[in-house]
């Protein structure tokens, strides 16, 4: 997952984009970038690191203009090198920059077509650069000296015809405006809004509404699946449905873990979904463990706190905070590399032994993916004096690879893949383990918006909504991932030898 933002304003946009990216920092902590436009000149700053580390005062002074886009990345397809940081730029036609959240599953085919048929050069391994060139080529084929809204919408329609996968996009056409668009399934989130100033109306597009809310924008709505929103540099807004066929199916994992709890995605409150998940999980515990001996329920900060509170209330057990989180350590799920994730768990969390000593503790997490975090935290609870440690996952078992922009592409890395609940409990060291029922998760999200009849749920079901995913595709993806890791390990070894 990544975070994107784009804005057209009446005054300098550099600070607003910076602030929006800090509000979206939970969506990616690997790299950050901002590009702004003043007249026909572009100003770009991007690098690996957190937003606060990438942008210093000297960089902000150089980001001139009343229009710009920004991005925070965590690595999915491609590498984690600085050259992969977004936004990407292509000079023809007009000068276009683009930031993307998601993943194209036909990236290899598109790369080949762009190189051999469209005669466009792709400089990185990122599917976002491929998507940019597909969009740019569609605009160039119109052979127009200037750009109008219909041209932009035609280009987005061409993207929908060629690109398969998940994509929420902001793109800036130098000297003209900003366009935001979303794949025909609406897998990854993106919203847009406006605010009134003394100078006039300003617009912003972002991955989550929290970025708009905090900066004083009124949310106008989600960009619908297949839809494009185009905002000219003068501040005129146009929108159009650009896909021939849509199927509204946002990603379920956004509500479980990825999004902030104060976000509303596709008219569904993330906070309320997590409240309902806790209630349903509590009901399941009462069914399966009616004679439980749980003394206290504890969340694993931060994303499970909401569900843990309602779970505790439902089973009538005390809710306590047993872990203190160091907010300066990144989210372990999106840490690159197993060893880094394992190390950062101990750095990120510390126990309050008073809450554990001699008690039977139920730990609640939003989900279990690789199992690294759960195993470490269970051991921390035992080390703090817990008599028994039970574990509850507010999500169903994550059993299948994700190909739509979440970093879990290899089935062999998923602890629940082809394993029963008792085996997973044993692997993570829990006295017993309870997972959310899949139907309960769907119901909890569907209750927020009855108009959405299908969610993207492949990590739980193995059903890939876009099609075009088979065993050969997943095997190739796993091999590619393993090769990247081998190269990374080799580079680290060489650096150690040099040191």
Q: Which residues touch 289 (CB under 8 Å, ≥6 apart)?
A: 432, 434
Percent share of the chain, pLDDT over 70: 92
Asked whether the predicted pLDDT for residue 77 surpasses 50, the reply is: no
Q: pLDDT band at 493, cuts 50/70/90? A: low
Can you tell me the mean pLDDT for 100-113?
Answer: 96
231: tokens are 């905002």
What is the model's pLDDT at position 344? 62
Distances (CA, A) of 92 to 99, 139, 168: 17, 9, 22
Q: Which of these, 393, 412, 409, lies nearest to 401 by C-alpha position?
A: 409
pLDDT for 446-457, tens place per residue?
A: 999 999 989 999
pLDDT for 25-40, tens place per residue?
A: 999 999 999 999 999 9
pLDDT for 322-356, tens place per residue?
A: 999 887 665 555 444 455 555 567 678 999 999 99
Distances (CA, A) of 32 to 16, 237, 358: 14, 27, 45
CB 365 within 8 A of CB 434: no
What is the model's pLDDT at position 82? 83
Asked whether the predicted pLDDT for residue 459 surpasses 50, the reply is: yes
pLDDT for 158-196, tens place per residue?
A: 999 999 999 999 999 999 999 999 999 999 999 999 999
pLDDT for 190-232, tens place per residue?
A: 999 999 999 999 999 999 999 999 999 999 999 999 999 999 9
Task: Judge whether 251 counts as a catalytic residue.
Answer: no
Conformational region of residue 105, where left means phi above 0, alpha means psi within -120 to 50, and beta covers everything else? alpha
Alpha helices in 352-450 (DSSP H): 353-356, 372-383, 421-428, 438-446
CA 296/CA 355 separation, integer angstroms:
8
Q: pLDDT band at 476, cuts 50/70/90? A: confident
What is the model's pLDDT at position 334? 46
| Catalytic position from the list 2, 37, 242, 251 | 2
203: tokens are 């617009």
């Amino acid at each position: 997952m990544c975070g994107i933002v784009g804005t057209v304003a009446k005054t300098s946009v550099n600070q607003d984009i910076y602030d929006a990216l800090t509000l979206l920092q939970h969506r990616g902590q690997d790299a950050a970038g901002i590009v702004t436009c003043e007249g026909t000149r572009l100003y770009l700053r991007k690098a690996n690191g957190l937003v606060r580390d990438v942008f210093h005062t000297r960089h902000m002074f150089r980001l001139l203009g009343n229009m710009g886009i920004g991005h925070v990345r965590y690595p999915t397809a491609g590498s984690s090198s600085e050259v992969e940081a977004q936004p990407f730029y292509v000079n023809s036609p007009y000068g276009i920059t683009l930031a993307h959240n998601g993943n194209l599953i036909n990236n290899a085919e598109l790369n080949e077509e762009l190189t051999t048929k469209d005669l466009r050069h792709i400089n990185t391994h990122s599917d976002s650069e491929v998507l940019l060139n597909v969009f740019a080529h569609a605009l160039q084929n119109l052979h127009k000296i200037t750009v109008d809204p219909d041209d932009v919408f035609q280009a987005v329609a061409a993207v929908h015809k060629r690109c398969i996968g998940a994509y929420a996009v902001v793109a800036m056409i130098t000297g003209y405006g900003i366009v935001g668009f979303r794949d025909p399934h609406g897998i990854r989130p993106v919203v847009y809004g406006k605010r009134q100033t003394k100078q006039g109306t300003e617009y912003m597009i972002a991955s989550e509404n929290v970025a708009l809310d905090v900066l004083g924008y009124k949310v106008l709505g989600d960009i619908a699946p297949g839809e494009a929103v185009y905002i000219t540099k003068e501040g005129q807004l146009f929108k159009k449905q650009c896909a021939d066929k849509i199927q509204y199916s946002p990603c379920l994992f956004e509500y479980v873990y990825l999004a902030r709890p104060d976000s509303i995605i596709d008219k569904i409150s993330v906070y309320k979904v997590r409240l309902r998940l806790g209630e349903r999980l509590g009901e399941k515990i009462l069914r399966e463990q009616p004679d439980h001996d749980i003394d206290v329920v504890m969340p694993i900060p931060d994303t499970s706190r909401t569900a843990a509170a309602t779970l505790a209330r439902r089973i009538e057990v005390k809710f306590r905070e047993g872990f203190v989180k160091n907010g300066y350590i990144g989210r372990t799920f999106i840490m690159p590399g197993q060893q880094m994730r394992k190390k950062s768990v101990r750095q990120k969390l510390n126990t309050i032994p008073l809450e554990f000593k001699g008690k039977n503790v139920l730990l609640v997490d939003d989900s279990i993916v690789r199992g690294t975090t759960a195993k470490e935290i269970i051991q921390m609870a035992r080390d703090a004096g817990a008599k028994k440690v039970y574990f509850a996952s507010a999500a169903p078992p994550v059993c299948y690879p994700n190909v739509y922009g979440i970093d879990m592409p290899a089935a062999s890395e998923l602890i629940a893949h082809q394993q029963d609940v008792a085996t997973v409990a044993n692997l993570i060291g829990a006295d017993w383990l309870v997972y959310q029922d899949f139907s309960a998760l769907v119901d909890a999200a569907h209750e927020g918006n009855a108009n959405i009849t299908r969610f993207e749920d492949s990590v739980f079901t193995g059903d890939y909504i876009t099609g075009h995913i088979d065993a050969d595709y997943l095997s190739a993806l796993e091999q590619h991932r393993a090769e990247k890791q081998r190269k990374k390990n080799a580079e680290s070894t060489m650096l150690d030898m040099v040191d």
